[in-house]
């Protein structure tokens, strides 16, 4: 079972790795292996909000990333999604997303389409109820009484001048 460390221990380990990396020619991965943790653990700890304060550059980068995460979708795209759903109510989230990409060149995820439709009250909530068909049984009294064929499509090809035909 992995060892559980406090935030202070994690901060100290991150600082050790950073010092090793800066003072020697070691990469972060090599410094991590020297201390005895995986480099993925280092980056997870480093990116953990409570461990390292964000610089102004990181704050603006994170803010930009949050703005493009789907909360602020272009109003034109929202209009296209709602218009498409109103004109073709039988389309689902996936088909709307594909239709917008194909027809209008708008790339939008199905999750974003679902959020937009839910926000505008156009989300499908009435799904058709499944039909309960009784089980069908095919019974016979003797052999060769019932035959069944799965594939009904075939092509006939004429072979040569002799009039021979071959089923494909």
| Six-digit token string for 77 | 């795209």
Distance separating alpha carbons of residues 107 and 102, to the nearest angstrom: 9
Taking alpha carbons only, the member of 85, 90, 89 closest to residue 100 is 85
Q: What is the pLDDT of residues 128-162, one digit of tens each?
A: 677 888 887 777 888 887 776 666 556 666 665 55
Distance separating alpha carbons of residues 155 and 83, to the nearest angstrom: 45
pLDDT at 70 over 60: no
More confident residue, 112 or 141: 112
Over residues 74-91, the mean pLDDT reads 89
Bridge partners of 166, per DSSP, are 157
Whether the full predicted model's pTM is greater than 0.75, yes or no, is no
What pLDDT score does 131 carry? 82
In the predicted model, what is the mean pLDDT of the chain?
Answer: 78
DSSP string, 49-67: TTTSPPPHHHHHHHHHHHI
46, 14 Cβ separation under 8 angstroms: yes
Residue 147 burial (CB count, 10 A): 6
Distance separating alpha carbons of residues 85 and 125, to the nearest angstrom: 14
Taking alpha carbons only, the member of 123, 122, 94 closest to residue 110 is 94
Maximum distance among all Cα pairs of the chain, rounded to whole angstroms: 91
Enumerate the domain spans of the chain: 7-47, 70-119
More confident residue, 81 or 49: 81
Q: What is the pLDDT of residues 19-54, one digit of tens each?
A: 888 888 888 888 888 888 888 888 888 877 555 555
Least trusted range by pLDDT, from 52-61, 76-85, 130-139? 52-61
| Six-digit token string for 10 | 């994690």
Distance separating alpha carbons of residues 53 and 51, to the nearest angstrom: 7
What pLDDT score does 52 carry? 52
């Amino acid at each position: 079972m992995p060892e559980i460390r406090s935030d202070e221990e994690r901060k100290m380990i991150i600082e050790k790795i950073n010092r090793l990396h800066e003072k020697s020619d070691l990469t972060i991965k090599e410094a991590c292996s020297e201390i005895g943790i995986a480099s993925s653990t280092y980056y997870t700890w480093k990116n953990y909000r409570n461990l390292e304060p964000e610089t102004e550059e990181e704050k603006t980068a994170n803010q930009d990333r949050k703005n493009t995460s789907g909360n602020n979708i272009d109003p034109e795209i929202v209009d296209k999604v709602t218009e498409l759903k109103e004109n073709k109510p039988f389309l689902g989230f996936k088909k709307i997303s594909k239709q917008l990409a194909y027809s209008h060149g708008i790339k939008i995820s199905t999750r974003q389409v679902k959020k937009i439709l839910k926000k505008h009250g156009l989300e499908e909530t009435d799904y058709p109820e499944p039909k309960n068909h009784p089980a069908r049984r095919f019974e016979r009294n003797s052999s060769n009484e019932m035959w069944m064929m799965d594939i009904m499509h075939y092509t006939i090809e004429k072979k040569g001048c002799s009039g021979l035909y071959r089923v494909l």
